[in-house]
């Protein structure tokens, strides 16, 4: 594959396995940050790619290794890659030597699969086996108790198994076992026409339909060299920020519930419902689905007067957030809960509000502008303490900024086309697309051959933040666990894919 296929979004640098660890360390020394890693099988050739961001540079760096099925693990020097490497081993037929976490991730203990579904044979494979407990560190103490919670949990929370080792109320070790909801979505993309697969991208995460569809569409548009009209770019911003609004209101509703503020919880969920009703009136879909397409939008949206319609909701939201911020019993439970230090956030790959609450000033809308974000003004809230309080403050400011972005974008709308017509090219193309979702950085990498998808990689923000979350649970207490989890705003479906 020609290095130009991922241009101009990324500069490709070819690396040999013997130089991989040295190259990775050099990148870290230069202030770069690894974002994700994925594999691809170009016919029978195995290709490994590591994506990095560079400070002050809008172009990503892509380290590429071609023709090697066994590589040294980078998880010791770049811990966030641990999950990506384990996922590639189980699903892609790639081996990483000297991995510091040599236990299952997606294919749980007690199970095996005939052939890797994303391996060179491109078969789905059959799973065999029976349930076995997760691999856990041995804790020797007569008073240590073990609690297995899940995979089915009460209320409407998602499916996941959580193991606590604790004494009294003190949690010594916490291990989440996810991927009960793994749907093999990256495999499902293969063979589809890129224009049709937007439908699938919208359903990777139910509460992230716009951000997933947008990142996917932008990856295809980059591969095919499609320029999206200005009106469509502004409307894409409006849709993405409306999605951010209802996600953040949902976040505060659940966070208030964990601190036993029943009225505040109901009010947050009511404000979420108000935004969804607005979405329905504006677009015909409460979750803003079936609007985005490769090249722009499927149909136009009359959003010119959206700023005026949002005014009552803006005032209600501000009053709600101020009331939460002046409720002592709520704040007391957030302060000092689930602290994530800045270095741990960087090393383990935290993203979005979680990363910004720990002092990492990163936002793809600003650092790598897409859609119309480069033409709009907005602030990126950052805090330093890294606790539940800081995460809530970042979300609150982000919610206010979302309102401001919608009003700005709506005020700039002018009549014009909403979609660029294009001819599907022959041959092979590849592209990157990204969005700053409500939960953090979301990236799609696509490879297309003769109008059919050959490989789609999804870098999900919750995949990153679920990796980080256990670090904030160890050495805490049972009473704070629900508050801490709610403060992260995680989704399991988005992680499991």
Q: Quick count: other Cβ atoms within 10 Å of Cβ 300?
A: 16
Residue with tokens 């998602």: 158
Looking at per-residue confidence, does 219 or 102 come out higher? 219
Beta bridge partners of 54: 57
Kindly report the three-state secondary structure assignment for every residue of 61-116: EEEEEECCCEEECCCCCCCCHHHHHHHHHHHHCCEEECCCCCCCCCCCCCEEECCC
State which fold the 3-129 domain adopts: Beta Polymerase; domain 2 (3.30.460)
Alpha carbon of 431 to those of 223, 231, 372, 453: distances in Å?
4, 23, 19, 11
Whether 2 has a pLDDT exceeding 60, the answer reads: no
Q: What angle do CA 459, 437, 275 make, to 5 degrees?
A: 145
Does residue 76 have a pLDDT over 60? Answer: yes
How far apart CA 29 and CA 54 sit, in angstroms, is 11
* Cα–Cα distance for residue pair 143/95, rounded to 1 Å: 39
Q: Of 489, 457, 491, 471, which Cα lies nearest the Cα of 92?
A: 457
Rounded Cα–Cα distance for residues 254 and 268 (Å): 8
pLDDT digits (tens, 9 = 90+) for 248-295: 999 999 999 999 999 999 999 999 999 999 999 999 999 999 999 999
CA angle at 72 for the pair 69 and 73, rounded to the nearest 5°:
110
Confidence (pTM): 0.93
- Mind listing the pLDDT tens digit for each residue in 378-398? 999 999 999 999 999 999 999
Band the pLDDT of 478: cuts 50, 70, 90.
confident
Decide: residue 449, CB within 10 A, 0-12 exposed, 13-18 middle, 19+ buried.
middle
Residue 458's closest CA among 88, 185, 233? 185
Distance CA 365, CA 434 (A): 9
Confidence of residue 216 (pLDDT cuts 50, 70, 90): very high
Whole-number Å distance between alpha carbons of 360 and 351: 8
pLDDT digits (tens, 9 = 90+) for 77-91: 999 999 999 999 998
Cβ distance 196 to 230 under 8 Å? no
d(CA 336, CA 317): 25
The pLDDT value recorded for residue 3 is: 45
Q: What is the pLDDT of residue 123?
A: 64
Gyration radius (Cα) of the chain, Å: 22
**CA dihedral of residues 242, 441, 215, 450 (deg, nearest 10):** -170
pLDDT at 4: 58
For 180-211, write each residue's pLDDT tens digit: 888 889 999 999 999 999 999 999 988 899 99
Q: Which of 57-61, 139-143, 306-310 has the weakest average pLDDT?
A: 139-143
* Beta partners for residue 446, in sequence order: 431, 456
What does the H/E/C string look like for the chain? CCHHHHCCCEEEEECCHHHHHHHHHHHHHCCCEEEEEEEEEECCEEEEEEEEEECCEEEEEEEEEECCCEEECCCCCCCCHHHHHHHHHHHHCCEEECCCCCCCCCCCCCEEECCCCCCCCCCCCCEEECCCCCCCCCCCCCCCEEEEECCCCCCCCCCCEEEEEEECCEEEEEEEECCCCCCCHHHHHCCCCCCCCHHHHCCCCHHHHHHHHHHHHHHHHHHHCCCCCHHHHHHHHHHHHHHHHHHHHHHHHHHHHHCCCHHHHHHHHHHHHHHHHHHHHHHCCCCCCCCEECCEECCCCCCCCHHHHHHHHHHHHHHHHHHHHCCHHHHHHHCCCCCCCHHHHHHHCCCHHHHHHCCCCCCHHHHCCCCCHHHCCCCCCCCCCCCHHHHHHHHHHHHHHHHHHHHHHHHCCCCCCCECCCCCCCCEEEEEEEEEECCEEEEEEEEEECCEEEEEEEECHHHHHHHHHHHHCCCCEHHHHHHHHHHHCCCHHHHHC
Q: Rounded mean pLDDT of 135-155?
A: 77
Share the mean pLDDT of the chain: 91
| Record: fold of 192-458 | Cytochrome-c3 Hydrogenase; chain B (1.10.645)
- The dihedral built from the CA positions of residue 278, 293, 235 and 441, taken in this order, carries a sign that is positive
Segment 159-175 shows an average pLDDT of 86
pLDDT for the residue numbered 1:
47
- pLDDT computed for residue 125 by the predictor: 66
Q: How far apart are the first and last CA of the chain?
A: 27
Closest to 181 (Cα-Cα) out of 150, 208, 147: 150
Q: Residue 154: is its pLDDT beyond 70?
A: no
**Segment 313-359, tens digit of pLDDT:** 999 999 999 999 999 999 999 999 999 999 999 999 999 999 999 99
Q: Is the dihedral of CA 222, 224, 225, 231 positive or negative?
A: negative
pLDDT at 269: 95
Q: What is the pLDDT of residue 493?
A: 86
The pLDDT of residue 124: 63
The domain locations on the chain are 3-129, 145-177, 192-458
Q: pLDDT digit string (tens) for 104-125?
A: 999 888 888 888 888 887 666 6
The answer, yes or no, to whether residue 16 has pLDDT greater than 60, is yes
């Amino acid at each position: 594959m020609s290095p130009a296929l991922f241009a101009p979004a990324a500069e490709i640098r070819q690396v040999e396995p013997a130089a991989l660890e040295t190259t990775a360390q050099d990148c870290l020394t230069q202030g770069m940050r690894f974002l994700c890693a994925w594999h691809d099988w170009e016919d029978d050739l195995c290709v490994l790619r590591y994506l990095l961001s560079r400070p002050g540079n809008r172009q990503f760096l892509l380290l590429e290794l071609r023709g090697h099925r066994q590589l040294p693990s980078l998880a010791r020097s770049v811990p966030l890659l641990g999950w990506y490497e384990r996922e590639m081993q189980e699903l892609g037929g790639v081996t990483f030597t000297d991995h510091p976490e040599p236990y299952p991730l997606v294919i749980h203990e007690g199970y095996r699969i005939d052939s890797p579904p994303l391996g060179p044979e491109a078969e789905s494979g059959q799973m065999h086996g029976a349930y076995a407990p997760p691999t856990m560190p041995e804790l020797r103490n007569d008073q240590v108790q073990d609690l297995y919670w899940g995979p089915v949990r009460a209320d409407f929370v998602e499916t996941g198994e959580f193991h606590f080792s604790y004494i009294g109320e003190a949690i010594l070790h916490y291990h989440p076992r996810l991927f009960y909801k793994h749907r093999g979505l990256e495999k499902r993309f293969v063979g589809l026409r890129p224009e049709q697969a937007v439908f699938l991208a919208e359903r990777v995460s139910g509460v992230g339909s716009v951000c997933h569809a947008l990142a996917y569409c932008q990856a295809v548009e980059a591969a095919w060299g499609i320029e999206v009209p200005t009106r469509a770019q502004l409307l894409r911003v409006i849709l993405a920020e409306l999605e951010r609004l209802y996600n953040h209101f949902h976040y505060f509703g659940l966070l208030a519930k964990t601190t036993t503020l029943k009225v505040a919880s109901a009010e947050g969920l009511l404000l979420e419902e108000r935004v969804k009703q607005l979405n329905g009136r504006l677009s015909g879909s409460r979750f803003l689905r079936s609007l985005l397409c490769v090249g722009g939008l499927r149909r136009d949206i009359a959003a010119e007067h959206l700023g005026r319609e949002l005014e009552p909701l803006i005032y209600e939201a501000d009053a709600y957030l101020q009331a939460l911020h002046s409720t002592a019993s709520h704040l007391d439970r957030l302060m000092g809960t689930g602290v994530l230090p800045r270095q741990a956030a960087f090393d383990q790959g935290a993203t979005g509000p979680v990363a910004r609450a720990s002092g990492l000033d990163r936002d793809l809308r600003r650092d790598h502008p897409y859609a119309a974000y480069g033409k709009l003004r907005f602030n990126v809230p950052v805090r330093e303490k890294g606790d539940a309080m800081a995460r809530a403050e970042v979300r609150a400011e982000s919610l206010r900024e979302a309102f401001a972005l919608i009003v700005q974008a709506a005020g700039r709308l002018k009549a014009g086309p909403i979609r660029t017509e294009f001819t599907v090219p022959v041959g092979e193309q590849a592209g990157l697309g990204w969005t700053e979702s409500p939960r953090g950085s979301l990236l799609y990498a696509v490879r297309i051959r003769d109008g059919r998808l050959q490989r789609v990689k999804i870098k999900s923000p919750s995949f990153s933040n679920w990796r980080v979350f256990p670090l904030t649970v160890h050495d805490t207490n049972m009473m704070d666990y629900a508050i801490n989890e709610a403060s992260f705003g995680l989704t399991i479906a988005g992680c499991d894919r």
